[in-house]
């Protein structure tokens, strides 16, 4: 959809891709309702474009409040045209190292928060017979990353949610794009942003430990520009036929293609075993 003024709701606009996307959308004269966790950040966001930048204090781990706040925002602004489920964080730790609480916190933010926000905007999208839900997933949404299994699970879940919604909502004019970013130069990989499991098991140092070390080395050196990634997302929303999947980074595109090729090869290898299960 290309329109003079659209109303976007973007979660997690304080930094990184969310901030870049909010600024890009505002620069086009459109409206952004952005969520932030810290009350002291609200005024600065609204100052970006007075009257068009609207800040919401919101913790995505509070499912009922996300439903209430986003529903109220949709009603106040006459519906939401584009929802971007962007807010989230990474949890580093091997599967055996991660505690139940650490895993649940990860899923509450990365998946259930997005679920609640999506459920809250769908009524207005159905009523208008138009809307676009953009899920910011990850390369971890199409390949399991050792050392980040719960993060991977949260992104696989968001990918599945988006694919199912695309099938359910397509006839109602609701479109979905799952965005799979590669290495963008944000604070996502910083020591202040990544949560590390409290438990560390020596046997996993060559896998999970290597990932932890890699994140520290990568921080600040990523070659992906969040501002350009934001423009790619806007292009998908503007498109008459937007993609369900949008890798944004050469490494994301190449890795996605490689994963698909390897999957096809494995399917072919095991085809006879897979098919030979019917009644005689």
Catalytic positions, please?
A: 151
End-to-end CA distance of the chain: 52
Listed in sequence order, the DSSP H helices in 63-112 are 63-76, 100-107
Look at residue 152 and give its three-state secondary structure: helix
What is the rounded CA–CA span in Å between residue 6 and residue 128? 13
Q: Which two tokens stand for residue 95?
A: 């599967």
Q: Which H helix or E strand runs over 242? A: none
- Phi, psi at residue 32, to the nearest 5°? -125, 125
Look at residue 138 and give its three-state secondary structure: coil
Q: Report the relative pairing of strands 195-196 and 91-92 from DSSP bridges.
A: parallel
DSSP 182-231: --BSSSTTSTTTSEE-S---GGGTTTHHHHHHHHHHHTT---B-HHHHHH
Residues in the chain: 280
Per the DSSP assignment, residues forming a β-bridge with 36 are: 57
């Amino acid at each position: 959809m290309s329109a003079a003024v659209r109303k976007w709701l973007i979660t997690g606009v304080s930094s990184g891709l969310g901030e870049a996307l909010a600024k890009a959308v505002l620069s086009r004269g459109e409206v952004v309702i952005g969520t932030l966790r810290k009350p002291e950040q609200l005024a600065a966001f609204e100052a970006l474009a007075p009257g068009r930048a609207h800040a919401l204090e919101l913790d995505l781990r509070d499912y009922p409040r996300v439903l209430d706040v986003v529903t109220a925002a949709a009603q106040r602004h006459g519906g939401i045209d584009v929802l971007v489920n962007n807010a989230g964080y990474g949890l580093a730790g091997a599967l055996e190292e991660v505690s139940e609480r650490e895993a649940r916190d990860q899923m509450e933010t990365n998946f259930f928060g997005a679920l609640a926000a999506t459920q809250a905007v769908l009524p207005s999208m159905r009523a208008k017979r138009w809307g676009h839900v953009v899920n910011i997933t990850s390369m971890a949404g199409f390949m399991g990353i050792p050392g980040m299994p719960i993060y991977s699970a949260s992104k696989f879940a968001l990918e599945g949610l988006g694919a199912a919604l695309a099938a359910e909502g397509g006839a109602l004019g609701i479109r979905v794009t799952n965005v799979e970013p590669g290495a963008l130069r944000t604070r996502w990989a910083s020591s202040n942003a990544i949560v590390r499991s409290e438990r560390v098991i020596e046997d996993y140092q060559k896998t999970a430990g290597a990932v932890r070390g890699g994140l520290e080395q990568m921080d600040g050196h990523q070659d992906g520009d969040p501002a350009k990634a934001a423009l790619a997302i806007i292009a998908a929303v503007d498109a008459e036929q937007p993609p369900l999947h949008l890798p944004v980074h050469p490494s994301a595109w190449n890795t996605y293609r490689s994963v698909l090729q390897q999957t096809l090869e494995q399917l072919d290898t095991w085809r006879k075993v897979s098919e030979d299960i019917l009644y005689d």
